[in-house]
Amino acid sequence: MQTSVVAIFGFGFLLGLKHATDADHVVAVSTIVSERKSVGSASWVGALWGLGHTTSLLVAGLALVLLKLRIPAPVSEWLELAVAAMLVLLGANVLWKSSPVKLHRHVHRHEGEEHAPIESGHAHWHTHVGTEHPTLHDHPGVHRIGVGLRPFLVGIVHGLAGSASVMLLVLATISSPWVALGYIGVFGAGSIGGMLSLSWLIGLPFALTASRFERWNLRVRVLTGAVSCLFGLYLAWQLAVSGRLLV
């Protein structure tokens, strides 16, 4: 029995490692990592993606083990469409940020309001080109929550989309609920470790070119964003052609 459990856990861990290399996972994480300028930050993206993915798998696994419930096939297909849309949005975001034309919102005070709090000023949107606005991104800490939340939410969506169906199929064959939950844990650990390592490798060229070869860094980021958009559209097209969304 003990040998069997060890084998199940070992299989789950290896399956989690392999699962991290699925094409849609790599594209999504690569798109987010392309905006990072250090391998540490890139690795953190992979870890957060894995944590989000494992969170949704735990919810699905608990529903399967304790309540004998599974996500209906039509719902799963629509969730896969959400993954496709998410890839398009992630890619479009990178392309927009890589564009020389920037849209920026400024809060300023009019004459006679010099002593009023800046928050009470008037906000206006405007565009500028290139580096004519050198302080555009000088807002330390403002986006800290969003930066960490994005890969976590992307991982949750991937997990809910049923991309780990093989894991759930194996889970259904395990009679002990404790072993089943342990299997989810080691599968999640494998996916976290796999994506963390993969993010480190993907982030390495972006980190090396961020300051020394800015032009090449920009080109690779644009390519990454374009690939994400095209891959998302391809996934959506596959779902539409298969007719599964109409079931």
Taking only the tens place, the pLDDT of each residue in 153-194 is: 888 888 877 645 656 666 667 777 788 888 888 888 988 998
104-139 confidence digits (pLDDT tens): 555 555 555 555 454 555 555 455 445 444 444 444
Judged on CB neighbours under 10 Å (0-12, 13-18, 19+), 130 is exposed
Q: Is 227 exposed, middle or buried (0-12, 13-18, 19+ CB in 10 A)?
A: middle
Domain ranges in the chain are 2-98+151-246
The answer, as to whether pTM is greater than 0.85, is: no
SS3 state of residue 136: coil
| CB distance 192 to 47 below 8 Å | yes
The closest of 242, 59, 86 to 168, measured between CA atoms, is 59
Average confidence score pLDDT of the chain? 76
Q: Is residue 51 within 8 Å of residue 155, measured between CB atoms?
A: yes
Going by pLDDT thresholds of 50, 70 and 90, the confidence category of residue 2 is low
pLDDT value, residue 98: 79
Residue 196: CA count within 13 A, CB half-sphere: 14
